Amino acid sequence: MAELSTNQNDILLKVENLTMHYTTRAGEVSAVDNVSFELRRGESMGLVGESGCGKTSVATTLLRLLPENAVIKSGHIYLDGLDLVDLNEEKMRQVRWKKISMVFQAAMNALNPVYKVGDQIIEALENHNEVKTNQEARRRVEDLFRLVGLDPAMIDRYPHEYSGGMRQRAVIAMALACHPDVIVADEPTTALDVIVQDNLLREMIELQKQLNMSMIYISHDIAVIAEVSDRIGVMYAGRLVEWGASDQVFKRPLHPYTYGLMSAFPSIVGPKRELTTLPGEPPDLLNPPTGCRFHPRCPYATESCAREAPPLRDMGNGHFVACEHPMEVSLEL
C-alpha cells in the first residue's frame, strides 16, 4: 500500500483500508471496499461518484451511524490519532458531533417537524454537555444562526416555516453546534435551486475558512465539487479509484472512469463540444466484477484487469490512481 501523505503533522483524519458490508436477504453487499484517504486540518476534500458508488456509505461509516445489518469488516479510521473503528458506542457518542459531524442528504429529513428548530439544536448541545444552562444554550444557537446566515428570530419557528435553503442552513448550524474538527456534508445542495445553491456554497467555504474546519463534501455533481474542494476522491462501485489535488484530477484525469465522467458533463462555458457517454451501468454490489470493478465498462481493459484489483498508486505530486493502464491526456473543458 502506498503512503498517502507528505506532511504528517497536520493530518487530522486518516482512513486506512476501510471495508464495510451490508447483509441483505439476497446476500452481502460490498458497499465500501478498501478505501483509504487523508484529510488535513483546514482542508476540504470532495468525494465524487454516482449513485451506488459508496460515497454516502463512507460518510455513515465514518460517523459509525450504520444500520444493524451493516458491519465494518476491516480498516481503521484515525481521527486525531484515535481509531474510531475500535470504539464502543458509548465512547463513539462522545466523539460524534464533537469532533466529527454530518450534514445529511435531504435536510428536510434531518429536522423533526414537530419540534421547533432552535430546540432541536439546543437538544444536541445539551446531550453533548456543551452548555450548562438553557440561557447559554440559546445564546449559542443564536450565534450559530448568525454564523450560517439565518435570522436568530427563526429559532422558535418550526421546520415547515423555513424555505429549502433555510432548512439546509439550519442543518448546517446543527452540525456545527459542538465545534467539530471535521464536517461531512452529504449532497447538501442537491435539492436546492441553483441560485440558492450558489449562495450556500460560498457561505460554506467562508465558514470553513473562518473556523479552520476540515470538510468532506460528498456529491455526484462534479461542478460543485470542483468549486468547493482542495482535493478530490473519485469513487466507483465501492472503491476509491482516483485521488489527488482538484486541479490535477480535473485537468489530467488518470482513471478511465474519471475521464469518462468529466467528459460526460455538459458545461455552459466554452465551446459546445460533443458529449461522450459511458456505456453500460454501474455494477451490482452484491456480485461485483472480479479484479478492477470498472473493467466491464472500460474501453482499455485487458485480461489482467479482470484478475487483479489494482492498488492505489502514487503517480507523482500526490496524485493517486487505481488502474493498471492510467490515461495520459489533458482535458480541455
Partner 1 sequence: MKREGYTGNLVTTEPPQEPLVRVENLTKLFPLNKSLFSEARSFVHAVDGISFTIQEGQNLALVGESGSGKTTTGKLLVRLLNPTSGKIEMILNGTQTDIASLRRGEMKKFRQNVQMIFQDPYESLNPRRTIFDTVAEPLTVQGIGNIAERELQVAKILTTVGLAPAETFMFRFPHELSGGQRQRVAIARALVVAPTFVVADEPTSMLDVSIRTGIMYLMQKLSDVLGVTYLYITHDLAVARYMSTRLAVMYRGKIVEIGETEEVLAHPLHPYTRALLSAVPVPDPTIKRSRANIKGSIAKPIDPEPRCRFIDRCPLAAEVCRSNDHPELVELAPGHQVACYRAGEMA
Partner 2 sequence: MAEIAKPSPQPPAPDFIIPEPGSHVPVIETPLWKIRLRLFLRSARTNFQLFAENPIGLFGLGIILFFALMALIHPYLMDNVWDRNIYDPVIGIDQSIPYHPAPPSADHWLGTDPLGRDVLSQLMFGTRAAFVLGILAAIVTVTIATTVGALSAYYGGIVDTIFMRLADLIIMTPTVTILIVMAALFNVGFVHLAIIIGLLGGFGGATIIIKSQALTIKVRAYIEAARVAGGGDVHIILRHIIPNLLPLSFLYMMFTVTTAIALEAVLSFFGLLNIRMSWGLMIYTTQRAGYLLDMSKWWLVFPAGLAITMLCAAFYLVGRAMDEVVNPRLRKR
Answer yes or no whether residue 57 interacts with partner 1 by CB under 8 A.
Answer: no
Interacting residue with partner 2 among 141, 215, 254, 285 (CB under 8 A):
254
The interface region with partner 2, picked from 56-64, 86-94, 217-225, 319-327 by CB under 8 A, is: 319-327
Neighbouring C-alpha atoms within 13 Å toward the C-beta of 194: 2
How many Cβ atoms sit within 10 Å of the Cβ of residue 315?
A: 17
Per CB under 8 A, contacts with partner 1 among 198-217 are 198-199, 201-202
The interface region with partner 1, picked from 103-111, 128-136, 178-186, 242-250 by CB under 8 A, is: 242-250
Residue located via cell numbers 459511458: 278
> Residue 292 binds what, of partner 1, partner 2, none (CB under 5 to 8 Å, by partner type)?
none
Answer yes or no whether residue 329 interacts with partner 1 by CB under 8 A.
Answer: no
Amino acid at 118: G
What is the rounded distance in angstroms from the CA atom of residue 44 to the CA atom of residue 66? 24
Answer yes or no whether residue 260 interacts with partner 2 by CB under 8 A.
Answer: yes
Mark 146-173 as b/e (b = at least 16 C-beta within 10 Å): ebbbbeeebbeeebeebebbbbbbbbbb
DSSP string for 223-290: HHHHHH-SEEEEEETTEEEEEEEHHHHHHS--SHHHHHHHHTS--SSS---------S-PPPTTSPPS
Answer yes or no whether residue 315 interacts with partner 2 by CB under 8 A.
Answer: yes
Q: How far is CA 128 from the centre of its chain?
A: 24
> Residue 300 binds what, of partner 2, partner 1, none (CB under 5 to 8 Å, by partner type)?
partner 2
> Residue 114 binds what, of partner 2, partner 1, none (CB under 5 to 8 Å, by partner type)?
none
Do residues 261 and 234 lie in contact, with contact meaning Cβ atoms separated by under 8 Å? yes
Q: Of 13 and 301, which has the nearer Cβ to partner 2?
A: 301
Q: Of 75 and 260, which has the nearer Cβ to partner 2?
A: 260
Binding footprint of partner 2 on the chain (CB under 8 A): 23-25, 68-69, 254, 256, 259-260, 263, 274, 276-280, 299-300, 313-316, 325-329
